[in-house]
Structure 1
């Protein structure tokens, strides 16, 4: 049964390879075999099934967006698993890596193929907490800090997710995920429920201001784990949003504009911080935040109404496919410059350059196609300020090229090996390069209605070889390249002092603002505790003053007179009358 094998095979692979000692046996082929059912389901449409005995009664099925993301995750887990087999061959903790790697893989696959809320949350939690073992793998101080931050944010996200799913299921009266968007569209508290999901899944997506765990976790994890963290698992949050978002069914202007604003802020703001980093994996982490910001913005556009979800959601999923394959190539590529020698280095730099162009939306790449898909939806909405969003989308191509050019510059500083020997883990890297580019540009992944609406009677090749299309994709890259040439030609004193060893803004930037506020709050609490302690020590002297005042003869005389006055009925009656009149005016 192919549906169950998608989940069971990764779990078996985790158990089978968890006892592998360092230096012996390659676990890579086992993870490739465990990924094949997921790849098969991503390529072929298989009828869904229901298993009453599994969890609380699990339904397995796939719609178009999840099928695209499942194909992405299958390819990435297979490539990264094969890569890890030789890359971590001599790692003394290879067994624990394999165990958590297989567990996270099973959770990632499971959340994509399930159709009911209980199973979806179960597999989402499995992926989330198994990933903790990948982040903390090296056991260094940086890894422990990153893992602690990741775990805290993951638990916070889980609380919001389970609250959103519980309220959504209650509103729908059904556990089926496909029933949740229509129910939220008609529920009075629908925007509130979606906001809970926006926050909960936003932790996994890396949305502002919940993103700060990403630049810490990605550099801390081993290279194969970083590839799937950014390429595959971050997309699970996007799928969570899609399960709750009533795209095309509602007109939620406030939530729509909020998502668009946060999305474009992430798209452009993450680039600025990423340019100031010195670690290539940290640079890529900020690039992932930037690219997920674009997907956030376009999902927000879908909440304004006027765009059918059956068209917009597959387009966003295909954009995620392009980003996931290209970003995984770059993450895996960070391990290559210090290991690859000879003529293989030419192919290595060519592959890295193609991956950068794919993310930036360069000519003849899948990035050009997927960005064009999303851009066409801007003309189909009445959202105010849509022209500004179109300019921001174009600007993002320039900023993305700048950020990833910085990434290539950092990698270029890595000393190459003197011998021409090439490691075997370069082969899965080239496999991913070929598979990712082919399937991103394949028309078979999208609905025929969407393809016809975008291309009309023209074919894909007519689109790619259109001079206008090529120039629209080429000029932002030419502008960026010209700027870089001028900058490096001038070589001003400022550029000679450009950061090389310590980043100008530390990774996880916003985390330090939170910690600073927390330290201020802690100091105020300590002051209050100190005051209470000093007050407790002086309590006896204060009691003496009070007793001395009470025992004073004049105080006793005044108290006796006041007591006799309050006992008179006139005073009591007037007091009660004033009280009820005041209460009447307060409660009416």
Structure 2
């Protein structure tokens, strides 16, 4: 099975090389098929080896990553951009890096996958060749290289402690004399990759600069590299580290709720969606923090984190793609498909009953219910859905105000996105039924449904009041003009460096201007 996985990963590598060098006609549209061998091997079942392995963590994540990248490639192939082939090749490079992270059996291979992901993501961010893209690429590269450097030190310490194989890494970290230092390095290095507060600023900046399919994979898959790193290396279930666990839980909760302000005070719908991702990754970081502080809850938290990651990756990646799907197909014969798919994805992100978010958030609440922290984690979790609802409403308002529905007829790009929208919900429920104990899967009773619905209704009520007040002209004047730049804290630091370098500030392009020089709502990417 290991050699099959190697062959399967070699296929997108070869296609990527060809796309980046020769790009023969027809290969761009066939690029999604390069991921079929990886998905097929993943479906065959678990596999173990010295370098690569497919286990209960990697298999479901690899499946959703393959589906999401295939949809991004299909949507990219429908672009009229002359540089579509190179973008498709870079998407395949990023996929290979992420897939390597998911199937790595040893620490060195895992770190190599992180580096390849960094290279692919960086080149994708730079791909539009605009001033905004170059600036965003610089900021991403600085943070990503810092992350990889910190992780290289951590990996050296883990290997020295006997954790070369990832199966042995958590126990090795727990037994290492410098275990606390290693955990701190792992939290920092993977925290950057997971866009966890206060290390999150790169994601909104890059979402504003990259093309829509690239933004979808950044929010859907690239940030999951940080989560997988925590699950692979942290001593979850081996040693209680309540200090580090509390630090991660507090940072995660601050991020989950703090994203509301910059996510609302923006004029770019994709920035709002990026901050929603930061909040959702805060939710996942909180689950990991609970597992780190309470070893007896670790197993349930790990399973929950994987289920939640599958849900979020499919739903958020699809929702970001919906921006371009609407711009391309929203006024054509497929309008109902576009609206229906966007509704399914939006309800999934907020955690509405029957959606993928409902099962993911229910399992998370059950997993952390006995967490020994000063803050009642389960009491505040529902309000994460309220924040998500407000951010999605803001994104919808911005998209409606500035976007224009396109008249294109249905094609492979649309149908791949529709499969992603429906498959994310179905796949999350199937994974929960197959993997989790029955008591951790939500029922269909009225009490469970109301528990999932009331945070969303609260968010809609607050949004409705704000919109009504805005139309009545009773909101303070500053609410109409105050905007927080994408990246917030990171942007403030970057501007400080810009000033110190040459006395001027390299300001981002106005959010109303598209990353490629067009206007929002026109598919000029």
TM-score in same-fold range (> 0.5): yes
Aligned match for 1:347, one of 337, 342, 346: 337
SS of equivalent residue, structure 1 residue 425 = helix
Aligned match for 2:493, one of 505, 510, 514: 514
Alpha-carbon spacing, 1:417–1:360, altered in 2? closer, same or farther (3 Å): closer
Give the aligned partner of residue 572 of structure 1.
Answer: none
1:270 and 1:291 map into 2 onto residues whose CA distance is: 10
1:390 and 1:190 map into 2 onto residues whose CA distance is: 29
SS of equivalent residue, structure 1 residue 188 = coil
1:153 aligns with 2:143: yes
User: Once the two structures are superposed, what CA deviation does each residue of 1:217-263 show, in whole Å capped at 9, x if it has no partner?
Assistant: 11211111111111011101111111111112211111011000000
TM-score normalised over the length of structure 2: 0.89
1:292 and 1:514 map into 2 onto residues whose CA distance is: 22
After superposition, residues 70-469 of structure 1 pair within 5 angstroms as 70-86=62-78, 88=79, 90-172=80-162, 174-340=163-329, 341-381=331-371, 383-387=372-376, 389-417=377-405, 419=407, 421-422=409-410, 425-443=413-431, 446-447=434-435, 450-454=436-440, 463-469=442-448
User: Once the two structures are superposed, what CA deviation does each residue of 1:239-296 show, in whole Å capped at 9, x if it has no partner?
Assistant: 1111111112211111011000000011001122101111111111111111000111
TM-score normalised over the length of structure 1: 0.80
**Contact (CA 8 Å) 2:170, 2:233: kept in 1 or not?**
yes
1:194 and 1:277 map into 2 onto residues whose CA distance is: 35
**Contact (CA 8 Å) 1:337, 1:412: kept in 2 or not?**
no
1:204 and 1:293 map into 2 onto residues whose CA distance is: 12
Deviation at 1:300, TM superposition (A): 0.4
1:334 and 1:49 map into 2 onto residues whose CA distance is: 41
1:475 aligns with 2:454: yes
User: Once the two structures are superposed, what CA deviation does each residue of 1:75-132 show, in whole Å capped at 9, x if it has no partner?
Assistant: 111111111111x3x2122232123222111111111111011111112101111211
Number of matched residues?
Answer: 499
Deviation at 1:492, TM superposition (A): 3.1
Gaps of 5+ in 1: 51-58, 456-462, 525-588
Deviation at 1:154, TM superposition (A): 0.9
1:202 and 1:93 map into 2 onto residues whose CA distance is: 33
Deviation at 1:44, TM superposition (A): 3.5
Alpha-carbon spacing, 1:523–1:133, altered in 2? closer, same or farther (3 Å): closer
Aligned match for 1:15, one of 14, 17, 32: 17
Alpha-carbon spacing, 1:107–1:139, altered in 2? closer, same or farther (3 Å): same
**Contact (CA 8 Å) 1:247, 1:307: kept in 2 or not?**
no
1:155 and 1:359 map into 2 onto residues whose CA distance is: 30
1:262 and 1:443 map into 2 onto residues whose CA distance is: 29
1:419 and 1:119 map into 2 onto residues whose CA distance is: 46
Deviation at 1:430, TM superposition (A): 0.6
SS of equivalent residue, structure 1 residue 441 = helix
Give the aligned partner of residue 545 of structure 1.
Answer: none
Deviation at 1:482, TM superposition (A): 2.5
Deviation at 1:478, TM superposition (A): 1.8
SS of equivalent residue, structure 1 residue 380 = coil
Give the aligned partner of residue 33 of structure 2.
Answer: 33
**Contact (CA 8 Å) 1:21, 1:92: kept in 2 or not?**
no
**Contact (CA 8 Å) 1:314, 1:446: kept in 2 or not?**
no
1:418 and 1:183 map into 2 onto residues whose CA distance is: 55
Determine which structure has more spread, i.e. the larger CA radius of gyration: 1
**Contact (CA 8 Å) 2:28, 2:84: kept in 1 or not?**
no
1:65 aligns with 2:57: yes
**Contact (CA 8 Å) 1:230, 1:288: kept in 2 or not?**
yes
Gaps of 5+ in 2: 504-525
Single out whichever of 248-257 and 338-347 deviates more from structure 2.
Answer: 338-347
Deviation at 1:364, TM superposition (A): 0.7
Alpha-carbon spacing, 1:118–1:254, altered in 2? closer, same or farther (3 Å): same
1:307 and 1:356 map into 2 onto residues whose CA distance is: 34
Structure number with higher relative contact order (C-alpha < 8 Å, ≥ 6 residues apart) = 2
Deviation at 1:517, TM superposition (A): 5.2
**Contact (CA 8 Å) 1:64, 1:446: kept in 2 or not?**
no
Alpha-carbon spacing, 1:108–1:412, altered in 2? closer, same or farther (3 Å): same
Give the aligned partner of residue 459 of structure 1.
Answer: none
**Contact (CA 8 Å) 1:264, 1:294: kept in 2 or not?**
yes
